[in-house]
Structure 1
Amino acid sequence: MWARHGFSGVLGELALALAGMLAAGASAAGAPAAGASAAGSPAFDARLSGYGYPFEVRHYGFRAQEQDLEMAYMDVQAPERNGHTVLLLHGKNFSGAYWGRTIEALTDAGYRVIAPDQIGFGKSNKPSGFQYSFHALASHTRRLLDHRDVEEVRVVGHSMGGMLAARFALMHPEVTERLTLVNPIGLEDWKAKGVPYTPVGERYRSELDKTPEGVKAYMRGSYFGGEWQPAYDPLVTIQSGWIRGPDWDRLAWVSALAYDMIFTQPVVHEFPRLDVPTQLIIGQRDRTALGTDKVADDLAAALGDYPALGRQAAERIPDARLVALEGVGHVPHFEAWDRFIESLTGFLEGAQ
């Protein structure tokens, strides 16, 4: 792709989805590879069997919550190593694959880079009977680092990955050298601001109703200010392919569980406890927020105010550095590459 390398509360709702999940259950281990829909667009199974990543994908097997799980990841070495490792954590609507250009730039700068697909995402397992929590995902990630003999990392998290990155740094400060949050969601506690809770079953039914066209329309409006360029197309490919694929019932359930995790497990209240050098890279046009369709217009308009949320986060995190990217939305590493990578590499190298 790039130049160099070419439950207690949900058990009742689970019953609502059981038939669809059982029908899709066999595909986790041996589902059909990516096919084509009637219109010729790609269709993917739960493990993205036919979807190519920018670098070699490895798999780490481990056991958690009485299940055998497999985490996909890329571990890319630098041609000339500087002795440091960067850990890249993806967002909810993405996978490790969208870090390809970032990985190439960082390895060119001397960093070893590890980019996992979290359990429930990308090419990793998608268990439907699983308690998704940021604590669990951070623990899995730490186990992966131990498996790869990595003792310290400079952590970068985008969107949902920003919430996970903050939780990882809080749980494992001894291995976290630096922390960069790129347009993280969760800079506000939506439920504390009055957004009502959406039951998992209701969220599942909403996920089932998604269409490839709707996914692109959402990203165009929410992430890129109504604009779209061909360079953004990879961001919709996986989600759209899953909707067309054989496992969407189960994937929609897993997505609903991930949404529940994000809404009910805020990390923002613990920002003052972060004890690592931290940088926030905030696209100022971003207005991403959960539940804006569930509240009155005045509250919806007040949610996701990233210019204000970024400033507030920088004030709450000890000695944090804020990089405000004007005219940029939710995905700076696609929309404003030069400014993003300059800010990231400068901070990783120690510039304050």
Structure 2
Amino acid sequence: MTFLTSNLLADGVRIAYRDQGRGEPVLFIHGTPSHAGEWRHIVPRIEADGYRTIAYDLLGYGLSERPAHRDTSVAAQTDLLEAVLDTLSVDTVNLVAHDIGGAIAQRFAIAHPERVRRLMLIDTVSYDSWPSATWRKIIDEELDDCASLSQEAFNTLLTRQLTMTVSDTTLMTGELLHDYLRPHQSPLGRLSFFEHQVRHYDSTYTEEIADELPSLRMPVRILWGERDQWQPVTYAERLRDDIPRADLVVVPDAGHFVMEDAPERVTREIGAFLAEPVPSQEGGDPRRVERGR
């Protein structure tokens, strides 16, 4: 699929990105094992609603640079997000973030609350919720041997994991599955996957900010697939309770990649959230609204 259209240089590294439309900026941060293409059904529709939409592949992911000696941890990706916004001359932004992208967004919103107008977290990692049991097993028992995997063995491993991301497993087949596997169809691609992504599956990055979540004052909406096999809904409920003004929307019959299971619903929820006025960030009672079951 062709989704990202250009490249930019931010903090000395090349980032593949898309920046289209006019209006209030909305930046989408993808998860793992993934790339910005996961937003392909969502972004054009939000753009059509009158927003400037920005999406990019995280460093070491997808079409972005895969540097041999550069930190691609959640903390480093958070710093790079700031550099991307500065490069694009974006002062304040609405963040829509999924999975590990949600960890980046949480950290950025805590560190730079003045730059985040609204925050939407979609099936995000949080607290000690990650890595999932299946990824933990791979990290503990197989990570050091993964670099030597054949292409066939690698594809089998990643296909098994990707199939767990959707409620409707028939979706993760054919061309869609190929698109998720495509960045890793070479020795460099396989090595990069484990070095830039899997090696940084570390809950330290979310546990160390857990006590700061109550400091967030921008509107926050949490969107979750009810059948998420990697991030149970209990973590969504915990986030809702810890973040002032946060509300929670649970999407039935959807998994961890809720944007694949229910793209229309995800688009509607993002659009509705962006259309809501931003209240004063001073005082007020936190909202506790649960919808969509």
Query: Shared fold by TM > 0.5?
Result: yes
- TM range, normalised to the smaller chain? 0.7 to 0.9
Distance change >3 Å, CA 218–CA 278, structure 1 → 2? same
Which residue does 1:324 correspond to in 2?
A: 250
The within-5 A match list for 1:1-352 is 53-63=2-12, 69-77=13-21, 81=22, 83-189=23-129, 203-206=143-146, 208-209=148-149, 210-220=153-163, 222-225=164-167, 227-229=169-171, 233=174, 235-248=176-189, 250-251=191-192, 252-259=194-201, 262-266=202-206, 267-288=209-230, 304-306=231-233, 308-350=234-276
**Which aligned segments of 4 or more residues in structure 1 are displaced greater than 4 angstroms?**
195-202, 232-235
| Higher mean displacement: 249-258 or 168-177 | 249-258
Contact 1:128 1:253 in 2 (8 A): no
Contact 2:18 2:55 in 1 (8 A): yes
TM-superposed deviation, 1:204: 4.0
Contact 1:207 1:256 in 2 (8 A): no
Matched to 2:24, the amino acid is H
Distance change >3 Å, CA 305–CA 229, structure 1 → 2? closer
Q: Please give the alpha-carbon distance, in whole angstroms, between the structure 2 residues aligned to 1:233 and 1:183.
A: 24
Identity %: 24
Q: Please give the alpha-carbon distance, in whole angstroms, between the structure 1 residues aligned to 2:204 and 2:127.
A: 13
Deviations 1:317-342 (A, max 9, x none): 11101001122111111111222111
Which is higher, the Rg of structure 1 or of structure 2? Answer: 1
TM-superposed deviation, 1:197: 9.8
Provide the alpha-carbon RMSD of the alignment.
2.8
TM-superposed deviation, 1:89: 0.2
Deviations 1:284-312 (A, max 9, x none): 11020xxxxxxxxxxxxxxx422x22111
Deviations 1:48-101 (A, max 9, x none): xxxx522422222433xxxxx211211112xxx4x3000100102111122122
**Secondary structure at 1:279 match in 2:** strand
Contact 1:178 1:277 in 2 (8 A): yes
> What is the aligned length?
270
Specify every segment of 5 or more residues in structure 1 that has no aligned partner in the other structure, as ranges. Answer: 1-51, 64-68, 289-303
Q: Please give the alpha-carbon distance, in whole angstroms, between the structure 2 residues aligned to 1:74 and 1:162.
A: 19
Q: Please give the alpha-carbon distance, in whole angstroms, between the structure 2 residues aligned to 1:346 and 1:248.
A: 38
Contact 2:25 2:93 in 1 (8 A): yes
TM-score after normalising by structure 1? 0.69
Distance change >3 Å, CA 337–CA 207, structure 1 → 2? farther
